[in-house]
Amino acid sequence: MSIKKQFLKSKPECKVTFKFVKKADLKPKTVKVIGDFNNWDENAEPMKALKSGDFTQTINLSTNAQYQFRYLVDGSQWYNDEQADGYKDAGLGNSEQNSVLHL
């Protein structure tokens, strides 16, 4: 997985490209990036599937903010991004953590 940040000079926003990289043991049909920026809406727009088997989505987010997020695969499996800026307790009463993005 990867995260690419492109800070815009014209306004206080950052164009963030999320990429879910295909895993050998996982062949997802859908992947969604879910987080604070879309109110953790599991019905959010799916990421775009690439020919390589990876998935990508670009979202403009306000700067000077922190966002928690995770990837939802096939509507049932949650994954963190290894390149996140950090991790935070998901608050579910277990050991689950969310990826954190600092802009």
Read out DSSP for 34-58?
EEGGGTT-TTSPPPEEPTTS-EEEE
In this prediction, residue 24 has a pLDDT band, given cuts at 50, 70 and 90, of confident
Q: In 3-state terms, what secondary structure has residue 37? A: helix
Average per-residue pLDDT in the chain? 93
CATH architecture of residue range(s) 2-102: Sandwich (2.60)
pLDDT of residue 76: 93
Q: Is the pLDDT of residue 47 over 90?
A: yes
Entry pTM = 0.91
Task: Say if CB 102 and CB 88 are below 8 A apart.
Answer: no
Mean pLDDT, range 20-32, rounded to an integer: 88
The domain locations on the chain are 2-102
**What percent of the chain is predicted at pLDDT more than 70?**
99
In this prediction, residue 57 has a pLDDT band, given cuts at 50, 70 and 90, of very high
The two tokens of residue 80 are 């963190």
